Amino acid sequence: MAIRQIRIIGDEILSKECKPVREMNGRTRELIADMFDTMYDGNGCGLAAPQVGIRKQIVVMDIDDGNRYVMINPTVLKQSGTQTGPEGCLSVPGKNGEVTRANYVKVKALNENMEEYTLEGEGLLARCILHECDHLEGKLYVEKVEGELYDVEPEEE
């Protein structure tokens, strides 16, 4: 178990496009395991590789629905509906903001074994998928916030 340092808004890696993963290897498997550890340590529901300083198209997510999602090289296939609600990011500590996103999304991605699968999400999962895919394009949710960011209390352990 290794917790990696999370890059904070203002760090230029967070505004760069990430590169596709070509093959799975030991280093990348370790990165994915560390990304889960780092996400759980920060009480986040998603984490993208650039947030730990790696410019690769890798996302991990856990929204407490019993699944641990890994998305490698994800592509959004379909989006529909809208939802507006609070959003936060481990790279923007202590803040939330209201963001409108699609309420339904369908993506294709590779799993940890580089096998293609599709994932459909609604509500929180759709929000999380779209937030993390934005990271891979060098975009942060703060660009999409309606109104001002506001302070949030740190979550109790």
Residues engaged in binding Zn ion (CB under 5 A): 89
If the CB atoms of residues 24 and 149 are measured against Zn ion, the closer one turns out to be: 149
* Spatial distance between the Cα atoms of 100 and 95, rounded to a whole number of angstroms: 16
Q: Phi, psi (5° rounding) for residue 94?
A: 80, 5
Using DSSP, state whether 32 is helix, strand or coil. helix
Please confirm, yes or no, whether 120 is among the known catalytic residues. Answer: no
* Spatial distance between the Cα atoms of 134 and 123, rounded to a whole number of angstroms: 17
CB of 25 to Zn ion, least distance (A): 26
If the CB atoms of residues 47 and 109 are measured against Zn ion, the closer one turns out to be: 47
For tokens 């996103």, the residue is: 101
Q: Which residue is nearest to Zn ion (CB)?
A: 89
Options 30, 98, 132, 146, the catalytic residue: 132
If the CB atoms of residues 119 and 129 are measured against Zn ion, the closer one turns out to be: 129
Active-site positions read 132
